[in-house]
């Protein structure tokens, strides 16, 4: 994995800190994404680095952005391959049309923007110009779900629901830097349109401790347990792994099934795990409880006559507040502490 290594750690950086009280946490920058446990390794721009490596061997790889190269890590690609980089300005609909044109000419375009702008503003262009013709275009979008505190204008809490209903569209929601890096290469090898959620900047590195390898369309059991089965995607897999470790100390044995491909769903693996008796099944996602992973799993369970005790952890069906992310994650129930509290209540 050339260019893929965790950022070095200074011992002083990871010394235990006194927890912030509520008033101090409110002052935390809205853009600080506290996605994993403090002290975790990180990798900078795993998507950009993977794309640069792909482009070294594939002249068909091109990159487009709607004035957000720095904020989607496409600036790494732009620096390495300026002749294959297209800055489209703040015109997402135009960018998607250009993406379709490049795909029709035999290129493999990666179009980047924020998830809200792709799913809301440019949806019809993606549907008509890309998905209907089943073109080989990759749409990679930052700020998925509640990964910014800037409020409903930037919080893509319903992007998966929007794209799940679009024929021909594959949907990927990676957990960490390793997942993002490997998924980028996998979707480049896949023929057809893909929507991938993107964690950008210094991305936590978690899955290397679980002998993990991304496979498009496959869910992976990261740990087993007899009391609770978490089925999670995106950074919520980090949270469920953290919650599982904490709950273990209280005698609650938790399994974690990471489901990075939302469409097509790995129904076979999900059903096999959910058929194991005596476990509470809990889906966990950084997305609205409407139309995301939880509903997709629940549908398959009902259709196939599998009926475990079932709960969902996700964002509420409402426009969310603006503010500091640690506060918002606690408020809306997707922090590690919130997951732990919910599960304890459910298994009591």
Q: Give tens-digit pLDDT for 187-204.
A: 999 999 999 999 999 999
Residue count of the chain: 348
Nearest to 156 by CA among 170, 168, 140, 180: 140
- Residue 287 near residue 159, CB atoms below 8 Å: yes
- Core vs surface per residue 249-276: b (16+ CB within 10 A) or e: eeebebbbbbbbbbbebbbebbbebbee
* Sheet of strand 261-263: strand arrangement: 85-87, 61-65, 108-114, 138-142, 194-198, 170-172, 261-263
Provide the residue-wise pLDDT of the chain in tens; the chain has 348 residues. 555 667 644 333 333 334 444 443 444 344 445 577 677 899 999 999 999 999 999 999 999 999 999 999 999 999 999 999 999 999 999 999 999 999 999 999 999 999 999 999 999 999 999 999 999 999 999 999 999 999 999 999 999 999 999 999 999 999 999 999 999 999 999 999 999 999 999 999 999 999 999 999 999 999 999 999 999 999 999 999 999 999 999 999 999 999 999 999 999 999 999 999 999 999 999 999 999 999 999 999 999 999 999 999 999 999 999 999 999 999 999 999 999 999 999 998
Nearest to 29 by CA among 321, 326, 320: 326
* Cα(54)–Cα(328) distance, integer angstroms: 37
Place of tokens 């609205």: 288
* Cα(186)–Cα(170) distance, integer angstroms: 12
Nearest to 96 by CA among 106, 77, 109: 109
Phi, psi of 161 (to 5 degrees): -60, -40
Q: Where in the chain are the domains?
A: 38-204, 217-347
* Cα(329)–Cα(26) distance, integer angstroms: 12
- Decide the pairing of beta strands 85-87 and 61-65: parallel
pLDDT in tens, 155-180: 999 999 999 999 999 999 999 999 99
- Decide the pairing of beta strands 202-204 and 170-172: unpaired
217-347: same fold as 38-204? Answer: yes
| SS3 assignment, position 212 | coil
- Kindly report each contact of residues 208-216 with a partner whose C-beta sits within 8 Å and lies 24 or more positions away, as own/partner: 208/178, 212/178, 212/179, 212/258, 213/182, 214/174, 214/178, 214/179, 214/182, 214/183, 214/186, 214/260, 215/186, 216/170, 216/172, 216/183, 216/186, 216/187, 216/190, 216/261
* Cα(171)–Cα(150) distance, integer angstroms: 24
51: buried, middle or exposed (CB in 10 Å: 19+, 13-18, 0-12)?
buried
Nearest to 63 by CA among 46, 96, 87, 47: 87
Q: What was the pLDDT predicted at 215?
A: 98
- Domain 217-347 - what CATH class? alpha beta
pTM (two decimals): 0.92
Domain 38-204 has CATH 3.40.1280.10: no
Residues that are catalytic:
92
DSSP for 252-285, written as a single string: --EEEEE--EEES--HHHHHHHHTSTT-EEEEEE
Residues 6 or more apart whose Cβ sits within 8 Å of residue 318: none
Q: What was the pLDDT predicted at 40?
A: 81
| SS3 assignment, position 85 | strand
Sign of CA dihedral 297, 299, 304, 306: positive
| Structure tokens given for 102 | 């490049």
């Amino acid at each position: 994995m050339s260019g893929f290594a965790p950022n070095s750690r200074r011992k002083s950086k990871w010394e235990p800190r006194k927890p912030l009280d509520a008033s101090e946490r409110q002052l935390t920058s809205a853009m600080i994404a506290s996605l994993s446990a403090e002290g975790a390794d990180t990798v900078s721009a795993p998507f950009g680095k993977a794309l640069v490596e792909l482009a070294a061997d594939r002249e068909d790889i091109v990159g487009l952005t709607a004035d957000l190269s720095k904020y989607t890590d496409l600036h790494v690609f732009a620096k390495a391959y300026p002749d294959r980089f297209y800055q489209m300005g703040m015109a997402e609909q135009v960018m998607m049309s250009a993406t379709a044109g490049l795909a029709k000419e035999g290129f493999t375009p990666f179009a980047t923007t924020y998830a809200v702008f792709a799913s809301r503003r440019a949806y019809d262009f993606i549907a008509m110009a890309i998905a209907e013709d089943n073109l080989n275009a990759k749409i990679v979008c930052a700020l998925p779900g509640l990964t910014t505190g800037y409020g409903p204008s930037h919080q893509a809490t319903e992007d998966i629901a929007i794209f799940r209903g679009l024929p021909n569209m594959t949907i990927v929601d990676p957990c960490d830097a390793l997942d993002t890096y490997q998924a980028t290469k996998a979707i480049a090898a896949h023929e057809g349109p893909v929507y991938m959620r993107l964690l950008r900047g210094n991305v936590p590195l978690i899955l290397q401790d679980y002998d993990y390898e991304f496979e498009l369309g496959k869910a992976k059991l990261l740990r087993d347990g007899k009391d609770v089965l978490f089925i999670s995607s995106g950074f919520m897999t980090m949270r469920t792994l953290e919650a599982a470790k904490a709950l273990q100390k209280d005698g609650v044995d938790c399994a974690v099934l990471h489901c990075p491909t939302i469409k097509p769903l790995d129904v076979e693996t999900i059903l096999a795990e959910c058929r194991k008796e005596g476990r509470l099944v809990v889906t966990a996602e950084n997305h609205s409880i409407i139309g995301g992973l939880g509903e997709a799993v629940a549908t398959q369970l009902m259709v196939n006559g599998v009926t475990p005790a079932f709960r969902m952890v996700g964002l509420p069906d409402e426009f969310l507040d603006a503010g500091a992310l640690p506060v918002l994650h606690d408020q809306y129930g997707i922090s590690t502490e919130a997951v732990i509290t919910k599960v304890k209540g459910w298994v009591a």
